[in-house]
Structure 1
Amino acid sequence: MGRLINAEFRKTLTTKSWWGLMIPAVVFAFGFALGWGAFANKVGDVLSSRETQLIAEALGISTGNLPMGLLAIGHGINIGLTFPVIFGVFALAGEYSKKTITTTFLTAPNRVSVLSAKMITYSIWGAIYGLIVAAASSLGIVLTVNSERLPTAGQWLGVVGAAVLAGILATLFGIGVGAVWNSVVGSVITLTIYLLIVENVLVLLFYGLWHVDWLGGVLPNGTMNGIVGAIGAQAFGAAGVKVPGLDQETQWTLQYVAGAPGAFSWWASALVFLAWTMVFFVGGWISNQRRDIT
């Protein structure tokens, strides 16, 4: 198994895909965190105004130094995690397209060991993507959010840990989709359109027309985003343990601003996305046990 894992690392390091996808992941993560950080900081200015504080004090609510940065960092990390999903597609579907899968399967004891080595190798890559994307997003909010509104050390560690977990699952999800589809181009195009457009439109449409506020908490992209985004939403009582008196519309809006509309909690999002990952990963695993390699 050790030799197979070393072989998988050599395969990825000798191609351009790992850094070719890392660059846009960092750029988009930084850019989105920068933009949402500026927006969240403006909201913080409004909440810190004398008029707002007087109203809040009358209602018994504290609007002190809220961690507005948590509402922005999730957006940067979530957009950045789209790229490890695409990176995962290349793990198996890429070998089929390049006709190297035959050598890979024939030089290994069995196909199960090959897929296990890929799972371990790409899990490590997913963790690396998660760390780097979290670092880029953190830099984005540091540059735009006032220091007193940044996450605490504990919250920051929680976000980084969640980003690493989400990166691992996102990469494995990509492997599964690519293995089932068996096409790099088809998988990448379909995933990109679905993750960035289709599911977001569905979530907004169902909430706007029928007030369905939980859809993002069960679909793949929403649950992947919720692993990190729900941490910000929970800090404002919009996920997990709710603040008394927080109505449904305000709760969903805060979740949306945090990048996790419909999320129940970060750990629930992780479990649901793990389920989606296993559905595709096991499906790809099974289909590749029977697939010809000629």
Structure 2
Amino acid sequence: MGGLIKAEFRKTLTLNSWWVLLIPLVLAGFWMSFAWGQITNDFVDFIGRGPAREIASGIGLDVEELPVGMLSLAHGVNIAQLVPMIFGVFALAGEYRSKTITTTFLTAPNRVSALGAKMLTYLVWGLLYGLVSFAVAALATVMTVDSARLPSAGQWLGALGGTLLAYVLVTLFGIGVGAVLNNVVLAVVLLTIYMLIVENVLVLIMWTSAEIDVLGALLPNGTANGIVGGIAADAFGFDSLNIPGTVDVFDKLGLQLAAGAPGVISWWASALVFLGWTLAFFVGGWAANQRRDIT
């Protein structure tokens, strides 16, 4: 297994994709956090009045001590999650496209070993992308948010742990999607459109037209975002379970959008649900590649 893992690292390091994808990750993570950091100081004024004030007083929050920097941080790392997801697509689908999958499978004892080596290798890549994303988002947050409203040491560490967990899972999710579809372009296009547009539109429509707020806690994009977004919501003391029922559904949606996780129940529940999605696609991809012919 050690030799297979070394071979996987050599494959990724000899290609340009690993560092090329770092560019959009850094840009997206930094500028999203920077933009949110510019406005999060005003969030204290918002939550001190209207429905938000009802929520704050109902759960005993002191609005002057809210760590609004968590909002900036969560949005930065969440938007950049798409990058390691796309990187994961190349793990198997990319090898089929470049015709190197034959060598990969023939030089391994069996396909299970080959896929296991890929999983462990890309797990490390997910951690590395998560560290970079957290670093740039944290930098943008520190640059823009008032020092008194930055997260505590424990909240920083919690957000870091959540980021690393989310990035490992989205990378493995990307591997599974690529393995199932077996087409790099198709997988990247579908993932991008679904994660950035389709699911968000569906969640908003269901919230506003039918007042159904559970989709964000069940679908892939919402649960992936809900890991760090849920940690941000926890820092404020609210999530879908304890927002007072008297709060209007649109105000509730606005608060959870601010946290970057509409419909989130809690960070650990989001992690478990997204783990289920990851396992479903990963196992599906593994099963498909046990039967797929190579030439």
Shorter-normalised TM range: over 0.9
Residue type at the aligned position of 2:223: T
Cα gap change, 1:60 to 1:117, in 2 (>3 Å): closer
What TM-score comes out, normalization by structure 1 length? 0.93
2:167 equivalent in structure 1: 167
2:184 equivalent in structure 1: 184
SS at match of 1:91: coil
Instruction: Check whether the contact 2:163–2:228 (CA below 8 A) recurs between aligned residues.
Output: yes
User: Counterparts of 1:109 and 1:30 in 2: how far apart (Å)?
Assistant: 43
Residues 29-48 of structure 1: CA distance to partner in whole angstroms, max 9, x if unpaired? 00000111111112225557
Shifted more, 19-28 versus 244-253: the winner is 244-253
User: Counterparts of 2:188 and 2:148 in 1: how far apart (Å)?
Assistant: 40
User: Counterparts of 2:167 and 2:35 in 1: how far apart (Å)?
Assistant: 22
Note the C-alpha offset of 1:252: 2.9
Residue type at the aligned position of 1:255: Q
Residue type at the aligned position of 1:270: A
Residue type at the aligned position of 2:64: G
1:121 equivalent in structure 2: 121
User: Counterparts of 1:48 and 1:198 in 2: how far apart (Å)?
Assistant: 33
2:255 equivalent in structure 1: 254
User: Counterparts of 1:102 and 1:255 in 2: how far apart (Å)?
Assistant: 47
Instruction: Check whether the contact 1:123–1:171 (CA below 8 A) recurs between aligned residues.
Output: yes
User: Counterparts of 2:246 and 2:149 in 1: how far apart (Å)?
Assistant: 21
2:68 equivalent in structure 1: 68
User: Counterparts of 2:246 and 2:132 in 1: how far apart (Å)?
Assistant: 35
Residues 194-247 of structure 1: CA distance to partner in whole angstroms, max 9, x if unpaired? 000100101111101011111111000000000000111122233176265772
Identity %: 59
Instruction: Check whether the contact 2:241–2:265 (CA below 8 A) recurs between aligned residues.
Output: no
User: Counterparts of 1:103 and 1:122 in 2: how far apart (Å)?
Assistant: 19
What TM-score comes out, normalization by structure 2 length? 0.93
User: Counterparts of 1:238 and 1:72 in 2: how far apart (Å)?
Assistant: 17
1:291 equivalent in structure 2: 292
Cα gap change, 1:101 to 1:60, in 2 (>3 Å): closer
Residues 52-77 of structure 1: CA distance to partner in whole angstroms, max 9, x if unpaired? 99xx88x9752222111112211110
User: Counterparts of 1:139 and 1:149 in 2: how far apart (Å)?
Assistant: 15
Residues 116-175 of structure 1: CA distance to partner in whole angstroms, max 9, x if unpaired? 000000001001111110111111111111001111010010000000000000000000
User: Counterparts of 1:42 and 1:253 in 2: how far apart (Å)?
Assistant: 15
Instruction: Check whether the contact 1:230–1:255 (CA below 8 A) recurs between aligned residues.
Output: no
Q: What are the ranges of 5 or more consecutive residues in structure 2 without an aligned counterpart?
A: none
Q: What are the ranges of 5 or more consecutive residues in structure 1 without an aligned counterpart?
A: none
1:104 equivalent in structure 2: 104
2:196 equivalent in structure 1: 196
1:26-175 aligned at under 5 Å gives the runs 26-45=26-45, 62-175=62-175
Q: Does 1:22 align with 2:6?
A: no
SS at match of 1:261: coil
Equivalent pairs, count? 290
Cα gap change, 1:150 to 1:4, in 2 (>3 Å): same
Q: Which runs of 4+ in 1 moved over 4 A?
A: 45-49, 243-246
User: Counterparts of 1:287 and 1:253 in 2: how far apart (Å)?
Assistant: 41
